[in-house]
Amino acid sequence: MDSTNYIVRFTLVMTVLASLILAGMFYATKPAADKNQVVFTKRAILAAVETRMDKKLKDISDDEVLTFFDENVEQVTLNMSGEVVDGVQAEKVDLAQEKKKPEADRLLPLFVFNGKDGKKYYIFSVRGNGLWDEIWGYIALEEDMNTVAGAAFDHKGETPGLGAEIKDNPSFPKQFLDKKIFNEKGELVSINVRKGGAQDPVHEVDAISGATITSVGVSEMMKRGLNYYKPYIEKNKATSMK
């Protein structure tokens, strides 16, 4: 049996050593990890307008993603009444954090992608709940703020092969292309993910079989998420009409 004194000294030395190693490692890897995080987010945003880009995203290197994003994407931060908020970078706005605030105080990120064709694409960020955990996505709209130019989804813990298909199966987000979020009366109806197959060719897409709850989650997320942007969309729609 070792004395208590020895045990205390041993554990002290050991924990100090371990914490020094970890602290050192943390600061040594921090710059690279932070850069990776930024590239990861920017890739996710650009994924929504991938169909409007010359190259596929996976063929672009990390550094190119950063410069491409800075050159072609404008960042706008909005408040809930659709006004532009200065001083906050849109990429710094985390919807997961915003969700915890009261609805009126939330901020919304908006990314405006200047396409090669001279058109602007508006990328909206949405977030909601799937079956097991959170799901989120980026929806790109054409200049008319009505037609979908692309969508990209991601999730935290949906079932592989079922709910996770919203991200893993490229044909799911592809369905959203050219759908419209406003109906003829000008109401924001968003895009519904329908179980059993889309019936309305303009506002509906097919659900994933076996992943009903995730599919409903996507519908719900689209509807609510886009409605947050509604004041901004309506204001800008009006100006672009003139």
Partner 1 sequence: MAETTVQTAPIKEKEPIWGKKERKLLVDPLNDDNPVTVQVLGICSALAVTTQVYPSIVMAISVTLVTGFSNLATSMVRSYIPKQVRMIVQLVIIATLVTVVELILKATVFPIWKQLSVFIGLIITNCIVMGRLEAYAMANKPWRSFLDGIGNGLGYGAILVMLSVIRELFGKGSLFAGSAIEMKIIGPTNEFWINTAAEGSWFGWYTSNGLMVLPASALFLIGIIIWIQRSMNPKLVDAS
By the criterion CB under 8 A, which residues form the site for partner 1?
A: 1-2, 6-7, 10-11, 14-15, 17-18, 21-22, 25-26, 29, 32-33, 36-37, 39-40, 159-161, 168, 210
Residues with Cβ within 8 Å of 117's Cβ and at least 6 positions away in sequence, in order, are 52
Degrees (nearest 5) of the Cα angle 17, 23, 24? 90
DSSP 102: -
152-186 burial: b if 16+ Cβ within 10 Å, else e: bbbbeebbeebbbbbbeeeebbebbeebbbbeeee
State the minimum distance, in angstroms, from the CB of residue 217 to partner 1.
20
What's at 168, amino acid-wise? D
- The residue (of 42 and 180) whose beta carbon lies closer to partner 1 is 42
State the minimum distance, in angstroms, from the CB of residue 2 to partner 1.
4
State the minimum distance, in angstroms, from the CB of residue 96 to partner 1.
15
State the minimum distance, in angstroms, from the CB of residue 19 to partner 1.
9
- The residue (of 7 and 84) whose beta carbon lies closer to partner 1 is 7
What's at 195, amino acid-wise? K
State the minimum distance, in angstroms, from the CB of residue 219 to partner 1.
23
- The residue (of 39 and 189) whose beta carbon lies closer to partner 1 is 39
| CA–CA gap between residue 95 and residue 171 (Å, rounded) | 26
Residues with Cβ within 8 Å of 55's Cβ and at least 6 positions away in sequence, in order, are none
- The residue (of 3 and 81) whose beta carbon lies closer to partner 1 is 3
- The residue (of 57 and 189) whose beta carbon lies closer to partner 1 is 57
- The residue (of 18 and 84) whose beta carbon lies closer to partner 1 is 18
Residue 153 token pair: 């989804």
State the minimum distance, in angstroms, from the CB of residue 163 to partner 1.
11
Residue identified by tokens 């596929």 is 56
Residue 142 token pair: 């054409």
3-state SS class at 127 = strand
| CA–CA gap between residue 9 and residue 115 (Å, rounded) | 64
| CA–CA gap between residue 179 and residue 146 (Å, rounded) | 8
